[in-house]
Structure 1
Amino acid sequence: MTASEDTPRIVVLTGGTSGIGRIAASDLAAQGATVAVIGRDRTRGETLVADATALDGDIRFHQADLATQATVRSLGAELRDTYDRIDALVHNAGLSSRNRTETEDGLELTFAVNQLAPYLLTYELLDRLRISAPSRVVVTASDIHRRATLDFDDLQFTNDYDSLQAYARSKLATIAFTLELADRLDNTEITANCFHPGFVPSTNLFRDSPIWTRIMIRAAAIIPGIGTTPQEGARRLCKLVTAPEFGEQTGTYVTGNGPTSPSKAAADPENRERLWRTSADLVGIESDWP
C-alpha cells in the first residue's frame, strides 16, 4: 500500500501495547500500514509483534517510557534513524497518576506524559511528517476536559492535587495543543486533529488512580449503555488516521457524533498560545516552531 492511498504507509502510535491502541495497531496493520508501536512493556510489545505475522502490514515495537524528556528525545532520534518518512503520528499514550508524582525532570507525571511528551515528540518528528506530506497528527483526548481549567499559576497542581482533575487538565491541554498546532501548520499539508474515544471502562488508563475512582469505573463497566467498547474507541482512532476527510480537515475535535466544539478554555487563542509557550519552556525548546 502506498502512502498516497487512504491508509498511511508508516504510522507511529504511542500507547499501542494495550487498550484501544493495541486494537488500532492491529487494525491499521491489517489495512497494510507499517505501525511503529511505542510502549513501556517489552513483553506486551513483542507479543503484539508476534501476533501480527498474519496481517497485511507490519507492526514494529519501540520501547520507551514517555515520562522523561531524555527518553522522548532518544525515541525521536531512533524513529528518525529507522523511518525515512512518517505518514501519521498518533499520540495515544496516557495515564492518570494516583498521587502527585514528579518525573526525573521535576514535572508532574500526568501532565508530563499526556501533554509534554506529545508536544516534544511532535517537535522531534516534524521533519519526517513534512517529508511525508500530506501527513497527519492524531491525538487521543477526552470529553472530561470540559470539567477542567488551565490555571497557569499552578499548572502542575503543586497545591491541592486531585488525580481526576489533573487528568482532565492534561486532556484540556492536549486539545489546546492540537488546535494550536493545526493553526501553526496551516498550508503545510499536515493536519492535526484530536478525538474523544468514549468512556472505555476496560482500559488500564486509571490503574494508578485512587481506589474510589477505580471502583467507580468498575461499576460503570457493568451498567449497560454507560461505557464504550475498546473496539469502538480504536475505530475512532483509526478513522482519524485513515479517512480521507481528515487528510483535509484540521484543528478538529471529534466525538462519537462527529466533529464537535471543545470547551471554550480549549479553543481560546490566548490559552493555546500561552500553553504552547509554557510547554516549550518546560521541555527546553524555542516556542517559535513549527
Structure 2
Amino acid sequence: MSQFIDGDSTVLLTGATSGIGAVSARKLASRGATVAIVGRDADRGNRLAEDLSESTTGSVAFHRADLATQDAVRELAAEITRAYDHLDVLAHNAGLSTPDRTITDDGVELTFAVNHLAPYLLTHDFMDLLRESDRARVVITASGVHSRGELDFEDLRLERDYSAIDAYARSKLANVAFTLELADRLETVDDAIVANCFHPGFIPSTGLFRGASLPTRLFVRLASLAPGIGTTVEAGADRLVELATGTEYAERSGQYVSDDGPTDPAPVASEPEFRERLWRVSADIVGIEPDWP
C-alpha cells in the first residue's frame, strides 16, 4: 500500500458530500490525512465532516462552495489558502448535468462552468499550495462520455442547440484536454506535480443525474437494473484514491485512466492545437493570464 498519503498530508476534494466523493473522503481520511471536503449542502457537509473526524484517524473539515460562479471559486481558494499551508492532493470531483440550458452570473453555460472552468481556476489559484508539497497530485474526475464530446469555441454558451448529455460530454472532453495540457506544462517548468484524470465507470446510483430530464433518468434507472451494466460508487472511489495515492502515479503524469488502467483518450483531447486553444479561452473567460503554471 502506498504511503504517499499519511498524517502529514493535506487533500482537497470537491464534490465530496455524496457519491464517490464521500466514499473517497472516507478512504483518504482513514489513512490519517487532513481532508478538506467541498460541497454545496452545508448540513450534509458538516455531518460528513463530523462523522469522518470521529470514525477515522484523519482530520476532516467542510468548506461550503457553489462552484458555478468565479467569485465563489476565488472565495474558496482564498479560504483554503488561509486554512492550510500546503496541498498534497487536489481532487476535482464536483460535477453536474442539468436538463435545461442555464447561464451563470458570469455569462457561462452552467455545466461548462462547474465541470471545467472551476477546476481550471482552482488549479491556477492553488499552484502555490501545491508547490509547497514535496510531490503533489492533481486528480480530475472525467468520464468515458468525453469521447462523444464536441466543443464549438464559437458557441460556448450553447445558444444554437442544447442537449444535457452533449453539454456534459463536452465538459468531460474539456476535463481530459485540460489534464493533458496541464501535465505537459508542469513538465516543462519541472514542477514536482503530476496531473491525471480518470473515468469512474457508469455509476447508476450516483446523484449526478438527479436533475436530468425524465427520459435520461428513466434510462439511468433501467440501466441500473440490467446485469453487467455499470459499476459501484465504491469502485469509482477506489479509482480516484488510486490516482491520489498509488505508487504507479507518483511520477506518471498526463494519463487518462479507465477500466484497464491508463488508456488513450479521444483523439481530439490529445491534439496540441485544441488543448492550447481551450487553455487560452478558459484563461480569458476567468480573467487570468494564460501563461501558467
Aligned to 1:260: 263
- Residue 252 of structure 1: CA displacement? 0.2
Deviates more, 1:35-44 or 1:50-59: 50-59
TM-score by length of 2: 0.96
Matches within 5 A, 1:1-290: 5-7=3-5, 9-52=9-52, 53-186=54-187, 187-290=190-293
Q: Distance in 2 between matches of 1:133 and 1:76?
A: 20
Q: Distance in 2 between matches of 1:245 and 1:121?
A: 25
Q: Partner letter of residue 224 of structure 2?
A: A
- The percentage of aligned residue pairs carrying the same residue is 57
SS of equivalent residue, structure 2 residue 13: strand
Q: Extract structure 1 runs of 4+ deviating beyond 4 A.
A: none
- Residue 155 of structure 1: CA displacement? 2.6
Q: Partner letter of residue 214 of structure 2?
A: I
8 Å Cα contact 1:150/1:265 also seen in 2: no
- Residue 131 of structure 1: CA displacement? 1.0
8 Å Cα contact 2:109/2:156 also seen in 1: no
SS of equivalent residue, structure 1 residue 81: helix
Deviates more, 1:153-162 or 1:166-175: 153-162
Q: Distance in 2 between matches of 1:219 and 1:133?
A: 46
Q: Partner letter of residue 191 of structure 1?
A: V
- Residue 49 of structure 1: CA displacement? 1.3
Q: Distance in 2 between matches of 1:109 and 1:211?
A: 19
- Residue 247 of structure 1: CA displacement? 1.4
How many residues are paired up? 287
Which structure 2 segments of 5+ residues have no match? none
What's the C-alpha RMSD, in Å, of the aligned pairs?
1.0
Q: Partner letter of residue 54 of structure 1?
A: S
Q: Distance in 1 between matches of 2:22 and 2:170?
A: 25
Q: Distance in 2 between matches of 1:279 and 1:166?
A: 16
Q: Partner letter of residue 132 of structure 2?
A: I
Q: Distance in 2 between matches of 1:6 and 1:87?
A: 9
Q: Distance in 2 between matches of 1:5 and 1:197?
A: 23
- Residue 50 of structure 1: CA displacement? 1.9
- Residue 154 of structure 1: CA displacement? 1.3
Q: Partner letter of residue 6 of structure 1?
A: F
Which structure 1 segments of 5+ residues have no match? none
